[in-house]
Each structure stands twice: as structure tokens, then as C-alpha cells.
Structure 1
Amino acid sequence: MTGRVLVLGGTGEARRLAAALVTAGVDVVSSLAGRVADPMIPEGDVRIGGFGGVAGLVGWLRAAPMAAVVDATHPFAATMTDSAAEAARLTGVPLLRLQRPGWVAQHGDDWRWVDSLEAAAAAVGGFGSVFLTTGRHGVGAFAGLNGPCLVRSVDPPAPPLPPRTTVVLARGPFTVEDELALMRQHEVDVVVTKDSGGAMTAAKLTAARQLGLPVVLVRRPPLPAGLAVVGTVDEALAWVGSQAG
């Protein structure tokens, strides 16, 4: 393969793709948003920080021409995905969305789907102890809850927080045994999460099923129309080979 590839990263899939591209001899640049204090750094060149919206990304792509761009950001990084799609349209740079499949309910699951964090907060208003695993930037939507709230995130959550909040700072993957112990310790009545997909944080869903707890899941934001999407690193690697060969 020849040509430089930009990977919009911050996920495990992005890191695995960057490593595979480096192994294949591809000149890869991974871009991290910088929202995590101690990010896991991928192989290859790395830049940290935003581009400054669509205009900034367009300028960057024109100043540092790329053979292709792979958007492998988090499934809920809708602003970056929308900006990447528009920048690719304006510059003509080929763009692929690498997005892991969402979770699929199993027998015994009690899943309750909502479209936003605000809707999730309304859905759990009648419960006692709430386990929030929605990321540190989304906790403010639950600030009006009066019951106990267990909040887990990689970095300290941004205020405002529910008045009776307990914060656990941890980075996955988590085991089912650990999740069961945590939920029992805090007498959790309901789990709230985003449909992030993947195995790294799926153990909480298994634990909730085993404990008979409901799970409120926030649906993923819609993808830009016409965006090419794959669900695995191997598919993304093959696509890059077709664009940068």
C-alpha cells in the first residue's frame, strides 16, 4: 500500500487498525480528540486535539493530503462523524466509517430503549439506586435525580452531578464477576448505558441479566446519508488497501 491514511481514533478498533496499517507499511496518522486525560496511544504518528470543525478539518486535509480517511471514533461521537463526512465531501478524500456493531438483546434481558440521555433520566426517575455508565460528559442530564447514583467513568465526571453520587474511576474491560460485585455492593436497581457495542464493557449487560435488573439503553445517533460503513478492522484494512494501493 502507498499513500497516507488518517484514522480518526480513540477506540480499540482505531488502535487495532493503526497497528495493522503500520505493519502493512502504510503511513498512518491517528487523531485523538483529547477528551481523556491519559489516552491509549496507537502505533504510528499521532495528533491530539480537535480540528476546529468542518473548516478546520478541510484545511488540515488540504495541507496534509491523505489517500483516505477512516472515521473509527466512538459510535456516539456524532459531531466528529458529521464533520468528517462533510469535509470528505468538500475535499474529495475517500472516507470510511468503521463502527462496531451495537449490542443485541439476549433471552432474559429487560432492555428499555430511549433516544437521548434526557429521555434516559426521565425513564429512571422512579427507580432507587441508578448505575450510570454513559460517560463523564453526559452525567449532567441526570442531575435532577434524588436517589443514589453510581457513576463510572475513565476520568472524573463533569458537573453538575446528582446530589447523592458515588464516582468510580475505571477503564474496561470489566468481568461479569466484577460487575456483579459492584452492582450488589451499591444495591443497583437499574443500569443506564449507551449502545456502545463491543466486548470491553458488555459484562454489565450480562450482570444485569443475571440480577434481573432493567437496562435503559440510549440509541446511537444516525449516520450521515451515503456514508460507507464497515463493522470490523479487517474490512477497514481491505478498504484502505483498495484506496491507497
Structure 2
Amino acid sequence: MGARLVLILGGTAEAAGLARALADRPGWRNVTSLAGRTSAPGPVAGELRQGGFGGVTGLTAWLAAERPAAVVDATHPFARQMPWHAAEACAALGIPRLRLLRPSWQRATEDRWVEVADAAEAVRILPNFGKTALLTTGHEAAPTFLQLHPRMRLVLRSIEPIPDLPLGVVHVQARPPFTPEAEAALLARYGVDVLVSKASGGAAGHAKILAARAQGIPVVLLARPPQPDGPAVADPSEALSWLSGLG
């Protein structure tokens, strides 16, 4: 009997951790699929495919051809399409599917969080909280926040470049993880008085939350999108246990 194939829908630290764990386990074979939105992804254990599937139809065709034992959706907590595509395709073919979703950050008593539904709501309320905003919501959300320029000073940080920014908008291109000390220095360097972040959770992005907490800076947090129904776990070790329990 050949190795059992697991398709990991990746792009997160949790996906990479699961791929490493499966690569060390005899009897398993893993393929990690990356959407291709990040130009220089980190190394991945096992096999790698890059680029989208072509919607639900393309994903269903790939699954029908490869017949994996399971699909583990370990995409980013803010992935809006792939979790639903995976749920539909796996249901159509009867393939077990697991959502590997890191927990949200836990609010401390010192945190000054304002939770909003989306970037549009954040734009409406941001001027009430400060004059200089550090935006850590990624390059795809940048056009929405640019509506605030020049009413507010904007500092945009992203992994990918953001072309054609207006004069006066600061862009910091950097890749996590960051330390609380480095985040505190960034806040001080630009005189940031309000931070905008997705409620992504995870250790790699938590430093900015800690730095804002220490300086008493309010944080506008974008809520996670809804997830399809189905089994879910919070870390790679739990995903391994779920896979081991498959018939």
C-alpha cells in the first residue's frame, strides 16, 4: 500500500509545521498548495504546488485526480474564498476535510481594542483615535485605507511592495516575525498613535499588539471572516492526531 496523500492548503506557519511533521512520518505523503500571493514564500517540507486551482471546479478536478486521504485547510484566518471552496469540493467527493485555524489573540486588561467588521468600518472610525496610523493589514487592503490620506498620516507595512502610493504615505516593507522591541521602536519612529491590525492571532504578529499595549496605543482590530462548518483544530499536533484517527 502506498503512502497516504494529504493536501495541505498552506501559506501559514501552522501549514509549514504540519508539513514538517508529516514529512517525518512514514506512510504519509504531503503536498502543500500555496496561492502564490507572496513572492518569496519560505521553505516547505514535502511536495509543493504554487498557484490557484481555478475555483471550486479546478480544486474538485485536482482532488478527483489525486484522491488524497484528507485535505487540511491551513490557510490564513482571513482567507475568504479557499475555506469555502475546500468545503464544497471535499463534500462533493466525500474527502475528509479539517480546518487548521490558529486561535485569536486574547485581550488583556491593559489592551485598548476596538473591534470592527472590516476595513471600511475601520476607515470610518480611525480619525476618532489618532492622527498617525500604522496599518498592518496587508497590501490588498491598502486602497481602502488610502481614503484617509491626507486627513491622517498613514504608515503602511506589508510583505509585498505597494506601488503608486501617494506622496506622504510611508511604506515599510518587512516580513514577520518581529520583536516587541522592534515594534515599539517603529511606533516611536513615526509617532504612531493608533494601530490597525487583522485579528490574525499567532506568535509572529503578536509583537505589535504587545508594543501597543505597553504604550497605551489603541488597536483597531478587523474581525475574522466566517468559516464553513466542519471539524477544526488549533495547532499542527492536533491536526496530526486527527489524521491518525482517519480510517
TM tier relative to shorter chain? over 0.9
Paired position in structure 2 for 1:142: 145
| Deviation digits for residues 71-105 of structure 1 (CA, Å, limit 9, x no counterpart) | 00000002011111111111111000000000111
- Structure 1, gaps ≥5 residues long: none
Counterpart of 1:78 in 2: which secondary structure?
coil
Counterpart of 2:147 in 1: which secondary structure?
coil
> What is the alpha-carbon distance in structure 2 between the residues aligned to residue 125 and residue 52 of structure 1?
40
Alpha-carbon RMSD across the aligned residues, in angstroms, is: 1.4
Out of 192, 195, 198, the residue aligned to residue 196 of structure 2 is 192
Report the alpha carbon displacement of residue 41 of structure 1 after superposing the two structures with TM: 2.6
Retained in 2: the 8 A contact 1:136–1:155? yes
Counterpart of 2:99 in 1: which secondary structure?
strand
Report the alpha carbon displacement of residue 125 of structure 1 after superposing the two structures with TM: 2.7
Counterpart of 2:98 in 1: which secondary structure?
strand
Paired position in structure 2 for 1:42: 44
> What is the alpha-carbon distance in structure 2 between the residues aligned to residue 158 and residue 132 of structure 1?
16
Paired position in structure 1 for 2:20: 19
Out of 124, 135, 138, the residue aligned to residue 132 of structure 1 is 135
Q: Does 1:5 align with 2:9?
A: no
Q: Does 1:231 align with 2:234?
A: yes
Give aligned-pair identity as a percent: 45
Retained in 2: the 8 A contact 1:97–1:228? yes
> What is the alpha-carbon distance in structure 2 between the residues aligned to residue 112 and residue 169 of structure 1?
25
Report the alpha carbon displacement of residue 162 of structure 1 after superposing the two structures with TM: 5.9
Q: How does 1:44-123 map to 2 (within 5 A)?
A: 44-123=46-125
Report the alpha carbon displacement of residue 158 of structure 1 after superposing the two structures with TM: 5.7
Normalised by the length of structure 1, the TM-score is 0.95
Retained in 2: the 8 A contact 1:137–1:158? no
> What is the alpha-carbon distance in structure 2 between the residues aligned to residue 218 and residue 158 of structure 1?
24
Paired position in structure 2 for 1:209: 213
Alpha-carbon distance change, 20 to 149 in structure 1, aligned in 2, over 3 angstroms? same
Counterpart of 1:76 in 2: which secondary structure?
coil
Counterpart of 2:105 in 1: which secondary structure?
coil
Structure 1 runs of 4+ aligned residues shifted over 3 Å read none
Of stretches 21-30 and 1-10 in structure 1, the one that deviates more from structure 2 is 1-10
Alpha-carbon distance change, 165 to 19 in structure 1, aligned in 2, over 3 angstroms? same
- Structure 2, gaps ≥5 residues long: none
> What is the alpha-carbon distance in structure 2 between the residues aligned to residue 66 and residue 162 of structure 1?
47
Counterpart of 2:245 in 1: which secondary structure?
helix
| Deviation digits for residues 97-137 of structure 1 (CA, Å, limit 9, x no counterpart) | 00000011112100000000111111213421000000111
Counterpart of 1:27 in 2: which secondary structure?
strand
Normalised by the length of structure 2, the TM-score is 0.95
> What is the alpha-carbon distance in structure 1 between the residues aligned to residue 225 and residue 207 of structure 2?
23
Retained in 2: the 8 A contact 1:140–1:158? no
